[in-house]
Chains A and B, each alone.
Chain A
């Protein structure tokens, strides 16, 4: 059935995260962006909501809740409505955990999931992005070659969220058959080197790293899903919709920030909000915030049920959010005029973050 209803638990999660986003994430966003670093305390406060542990099965020490892409979309939008960067820093480990829950063998789950069910934040990362322009997740240059019962990985992965501290990487690589698969690579594996990134336009406070894989030898058990492998497209699509959900929150935040300003700022004797050129921009921003959310929810819902229509719904939602989110953030900046260009206000930060979120595959997942 078609319904837009959230259940009681989802409503509670949304409301509590919206309050956290407004009271904790938003006030610190500018300073954190300038510093280019998310404070450990923020990551801990986010971790304390138990969002990542909630969907880990009880057998591995988790909450045993439903692994729900819709719930994650709601949570990511709520957090993104306070600060996209902090939202990503808080939720990035969930990308690794979700992939393990969805695709991992019993052995892989037993080995990795329990440590994410504890009280202290743990960092792990999914490595999708590569160096080349025109990067496409389905055409990985990083290779995984069979060697005996194991694998040898070669390549370079970029802009890995929490890559500076992750204890484990889930590396996407192309096998000889051309299929993309994911490999669990502990940080201390021989041949793996982690280096700092030069910095990025948006999501600056999200710790990022690049990793180089030089003849990294892995046991056969390192391949996520074992012999069955994984549906890599589904994994990447969950990441795409995760980023889109954060972008919807960002757009809502930017729109809600621009509305009172349009009522305060006087030009030619009246508030600019009373001029149709500005009022209609705000109306369109509001329309698109709503519309983007339904597109994200539909894709998340179909991904959650592993519906045959999920791949298409993801493409449509990602395309829609990619076009509209940048436009909303950009229009919000325009309403503030020159003030939007100055780093004192968050407008330019939101534009950078919106552009970054809608061009990366990830860095969070639903």
Chain B
């Protein structure tokens, strides 16, 4: 029967995750100011994430299902205020945890998975002139003997500096639209591959973001992900759909990141105001509250609501039910609260909330990306609207 209570061990794990996440807080500001410096493997005072692992062994089969619980872990982890190591996406600092690895696992051939599965792979789709409308990408790949020759510019490559290589989208037949788009695995030592720059960003500075240029970049013929070199005439493409399926798997994780920043900002505001003597009285009717109390309640309700949509999308995958629509729902909600809640937290706290003495402003900067990457809130609403109205992507644009 529907239940929302955590077992003792699950609560212990979440508490430990928060403790681990907060253990590096004295270093956080430094890495904000030195955004392209990678923190050492162990900082002073740091409790490593491995401190959490033994607790996982104590979970029982009737505890919260694993995917659902990992989203709760991700939300707890992202809400903390210590140094962030990489983007995470719910996974603890795994070397093979790049977005490209998810694509390889869902669309690669067994040979490709065996060959590249241990590499750290980024995902390289976005171009200077092409974002959400991925079927319009301009980068090209043409077969020359036993090699593909790739040309084009790519931007916003998450982990693009520290990765070993990237899954790169390029078209092998521009006239075919999305059917001509294929994914290629490009290692950084490929001739003609250029790492152009590392971006400077509003937030998520511990996650590097790269721009690439491909100038007659040559990769072997078997670098085409999935191995299908044909261009279907009906407009569909197994490779394209494969990567879109990847998004269904990663959206709840990305949404959890947005929720986590909302939660972090809310927690900060709640605790800071409590120290000033302002606390919510849960026994009062809604028309008896001060404006600040009401705002705190709205913030917590919105954050909680978004968190529940993330847990629900993950739970559906735990019980092997389709969750395409629910993945978009949670991504839309996660994207919403990552913006509104940190903004509201700063409203409530007033002028000192902008100071680098405090980390509340960081939640706004770190959270903001969650409504952009992996599909903006507008794209999620487009997907949801198509689904509930029964429209195709051509009918509702």
CA distance A276 to B311 in the complex (A): 28
Q: Which residue of B lies closest to A299 (CB)?
A: B4
Stretch at the interface among A27-35, A205-213, A283-291: A283-291
- Residues of chain B with a CB closer than 8 A to A137's CB: 285
User: Cβ of A320 and Cβ of B285 under 8 Å apart?
Assistant: no
Stretch at the interface among A150-158, A192-200, A310-318, A347-355: A310-318
Distance in Å from the Cβ of B334 to the closest Cβ of chain A?
A: 11
Contact partner, A2, options B72, B288, B332, Cβ 8 Å: B72
- Residues of chain A with a CB closer than 8 A to B316's CB: 4
Contact partner, B395, options A2, A274, A283, A317, Cβ 8 Å: A274
- Residues of chain B with a CB closer than 8 A to A5's CB: 1-2, 319
Stretch at the interface among A17-25, A159-167, A301-309: A301-309
User: Cβ of B395 and Cβ of A298 under 8 Å apart?
Assistant: no
- Residues of chain A with a CB closer than 8 A to B326's CB: 290
Say yes or no for A7: interface residue by CB 8 A criterion: yes
Say yes or no for B69: interface residue by CB 8 A criterion: yes
Stretch at the interface among B59-67, B121-129, B206-214: B59-67
Contacts known (A301-B2, A301-B4); A290 close to B329, Cβ less than 8 A? yes
Contacts known (A2-B315, A273-B391, A283-B385); A319 close to B286, Cβ less than 8 A? yes
Q: Which residue of B lies closest to A66 (CB)?
A: B1
Contact partner, B287, options A3, A134, A259, A282, Cβ 8 Å: A134
CA distance A245 to B68 in the complex (A): 24
Between B284, B311, B316, B381, the greatest number of chain A beta carbons within 10 A of the residue's beta carbon is seen for B381
- Residues of chain B with a CB closer than 8 A to A102's CB: none
User: Cβ of A315 and Cβ of B4 under 8 Å apart?
Assistant: no
User: Cβ of B1 and Cβ of A7 under 8 Å apart?
Assistant: yes
Interface code B16-45, partner A: CB below 8 Å = 1, 0 otherwise? 000000000000000000000000000000
Say yes or no for B3: interface residue by CB 8 A criterion: yes
CA distance A335 to B251 in the complex (A): 30
Distance in Å from the Cβ of A356 to the closest Cβ of chain B?
A: 15
- Residues of chain A with a CB closer than 8 A to B297's CB: 315-316, 319
User: Cβ of A318 and Cβ of B1 under 8 Å apart?
Assistant: no
Say yes or no for A341: interface residue by CB 8 A criterion: no
User: Cβ of A318 and Cβ of B286 under 8 Å apart?
Assistant: yes
User: Cβ of A295 and Cβ of B305 under 8 Å apart?
Assistant: yes
Distance in Å from the Cβ of A73 to the closest Cβ of chain B?
A: 9
Tell me the dominant secondary structure on chain B's binding face. helix
User: Cβ of B381 and Cβ of A295 under 8 Å apart?
Assistant: no
CA distance A10 to B3 in the complex (A): 13
Q: Which residue of B lies closest to A3 (CB)?
A: B3
CA distance A301 to B300 in the complex (A): 18
Contacts known (A1-B5, A1-B62); A316 close to B300, Cβ less than 8 A? yes
Q: Which residue of B lies closest to A291 (CB)?
A: B305
Contacts known (A4-B315, A291-B308, A294-B308); A311 close to B282, Cβ less than 8 A? yes
Q: Which residue of A lies closest to B298 (CB)?
A: A319
User: Cβ of A2 and Cβ of B311 under 8 Å apart?
Assistant: yes
CA distance A312 to B301 in the complex (A): 10
Say yes or no for A257: interface residue by CB 8 A criterion: no
Closest 9 CB pairs of A and B: A279-B385, A136-B285, A294-B308, A283-B384, A283-B381, A316-B301, A283-B385, A2-B64, A320-B301
Interface residues of chain B, those whose CB is within 8 Å of chain A, are 1-7, 10, 62-65, 68-69, 72, 280, 282-288, 294, 297-298, 300-302, 304-306, 308-309, 311-312, 315-316, 319, 326, 329, 332-333, 378, 380-382, 384-386, 388-391, 395-396
Query: What would be 29 A-B contacts, judged by CB atoms less than 8 Å apart?
Result: A1-B62, A2-B5, A2-B65, A3-B3, A4-B2, A6-B1, A135-B285, A138-B285, A259-B388, A263-B389, A273-B389, A280-B378, A282-B388, A282-B389, A283-B382, A287-B384, A294-B305, A294-B312, A295-B305, A295-B308, A298-B304, A301-B5, A313-B4, A315-B297, A315-B301, A316-B301, A317-B301, A318-B286, A319-B301
